[in-house]
Chains A and B, each alone.
Chain A
Amino acid sequence: MGGLLKQSLRGWILVLVVALCISALANVGLNPYQQQILFYIAINIMLATSLNLVNGFCGQFSLGHAGFMAIGAYASALVSLNFQPLGAGFDVLIFPFYALIGGICAGLAGFVVGMPSLRLRGDYLAIVTLGFGEIIRVVLLNLDVAGGARGLYGIPGRTDFMACFHAFFWAGTTVLLLWRLVHSSYGRAFLSVREDEIAASCMGINSTRTKVMAFVISSFFAGAAGSIFAHTTNSLNPSSFQFVKSVDVVIMVVLGGMGSLTGSVIGAILVTILPEALRPLQEYTHVDLRMVIYSLTLILLMIMRPSGLLGSREWNQILPGPWRRRAARA
């Protein structure tokens, strides 16, 4: 028991230290544009790792992550617009609470969507989640509370040290919790459902329950990521949550390797930075070739290297020899 406590404590300390370092660096050496990208990296890490739980570890295929992100973003933004118990200087202290609300709302939606579609085998989940993402967008467009096509404005949001720390603390928490989850007995249940659902049921695993659980957890973190998104951009618009956003996340997961959290983190960082790096190309060609390149990458990846960059390996499995042995011992 003591060992377990120590192990989990070490994880949290690591998350704290990494988040502190990144936010300190962001405030010293980066301009606002780069800071913005850094925020997107944190958000995308949350989205990619959480989607990987469903798509990679559980072997299902969700295509509506942007929808859950939208729910989290709008729910938390509506709360924060109407409920600000602390003054403007301290509102960052309550940001985690907003993110929690966004996550819970998205998790509930995940339950409602996942229940009917996860009972079935096959690709239904992909279609249902795709449809769900579109429904959410249409509803948001027509909802007066959510501002319709104009969206929401004036959401309290900041991009300073504390906000950056908050974003990366959430990102780290996501990775850590998912890491602990997939290395637990629940994680083994996810894997067994992915490998062979019938065999898993024979071993006494309630496959529907397992899948719905993965889906709800995944939606929760997508919602939390949405909340962080809302509280850094200060305004929300249904057009930020289009189908393309969901595809972005899928690409991060596939590029990094389905079934590897390390891969998802790397994928999220790459896919966030690449479009910015490709900006000169767009200025040169005057057409937006970004999505063409994305989709071609996706096809070629599936044909030539379906396992992505890392396959299902994690960071401790790709270190060079002596390091790997140390990591294995630790």
Chain B
Amino acid sequence: MEELIQHVINGLNLGAIYALIALGYTMVYGVLQLINFAHSEVYMVGAFAAYYGALRFHLTDNPGWGAFGLTLLIAMVICSALGLCIERFAYRPLRGAPKTNTLITAIGVSLFLQFAGQVVFGADPKLFPEVLRDETLFSFGEIRIQLFDVTILAVALVAMLLLNYFINKTKTGMAIRAVSFSFRSATLMGINVNSIIMVTFIVGSSLAGIGAVLVGLKYPKIQPLMGTLIGLKAFVAAVLGGIGNLPGAIVGGLLMGLCEEMVVAYLSSTYRDALAFGLLIFILLFKPSGIMGQTRVEKV
């Protein structure tokens, strides 16, 4: 029982991180109907930005909330800038092109960042700087609640609440919803679609930056190919919840994290990565619109 609770806590942690990244996929998919393959590399660059930023500003000298916050900020800013660049230079020239072309471009950008990352950062893994010290907050018997667990969940929760406020309560958020509802009608209503898409990329990418720092805390080994697998799983989480649907991405992410933790705990860790795709094929077979997504009738 105690073991199970510990696994649930770990699973929720992993799930919260997946959810943060999945939100980025689902937001971009919502406005552009594009699988932003490069999102996982934005996340990777976020981890490296935090790494170099922390080293540059000597944040490891006095770890604590200030250092952690600053690392988060650095990662978010760099990620947003990268997301903007990708949108501006790779996706915008292809607006209106056939979907396959944008998809290929997205894959191209993703690969480019991966391999350029290997050239720039070096292919060997690096140790994420300790900007926050882990400690046991309290323990009941076998169960230990670590500071990192609480931090990850709390930061993810705050980010999601802020996002919720932004999307549902602000004017820009309304515009994002309008664009994802219908690109053309939004243009006719006087919404500047280009700037809305840019905002979407900024928000999505900074969420990936937060995710990167949180992962860096918990699993402190970073390398240029770290984004691929976690990005794919986050995408599967987004599909699981219903792509284009923000609460769906969160539910999907948490579910994915829990499932993965349980598989590792009770089956075998070799199936860890196969699980995501098994889950994907399963959901595509039985409910392709995802848990929270509704099926849209396609009109001719």
Contact = CB atoms under 8 A, between A and B. Distances in A.
Interface of A: 55, 59, 61, 63, 113, 116-117, 119-124, 126-128, 130-132, 134-135, 138-139, 142, 198, 243, 247, 250, 254, 258, 287-289, 291-292, 294-296, 298-299, 302-303, 306
21 contacts: A61-B100, A116-B285, A120-B288, A124-B288, A128-B284, A131-B236, A131-B281, A132-B277, A134-B232, A135-B277, A247-B111, A250-B104, A292-B115, A292-B119, A295-B109, A296-B108, A298-B105, A302-B94, A302-B97, A302-B105, A303-B94
A224 B278 CA distance: 26
| A interface majority secondary structure | helix
Interface string B277-296: 11011001100100000000
Nearest to B115: A291
Contacts of A132: 277, 281
Contacts of B298: 121, 198
B167 interface: no
Given A247-B107, A296-B108, A302-B94, 19 more contacts: A63-B107, A116-B284, A117-B281, A121-B298, A127-B235, A128-B277, A131-B280, A131-B281, A138-B274, A243-B228, A250-B107, A298-B107, A298-B108, A298-B111, A299-B109, A302-B104, A302-B108, A303-B93, A303-B94
Given A123-B35, A131-B280, A198-B298, A299 B103 contact: no
A312 to B, nearest CB: 12
A142 B268 CA distance: 12
A243 B115 CA distance: 13
A36 B142 CA distance: 59
A294 B100 contact: no
B119 A142 contact: no
Contact of B35 (A126, A287, A295): A126
Nearest to A123: B35
B300 interface: yes
A288 B93 CA distance: 29
B82 to A, nearest CB: 15
Contacts of B276: 131
Contacts of A124: 239, 284, 288
Contacts of A121: 298
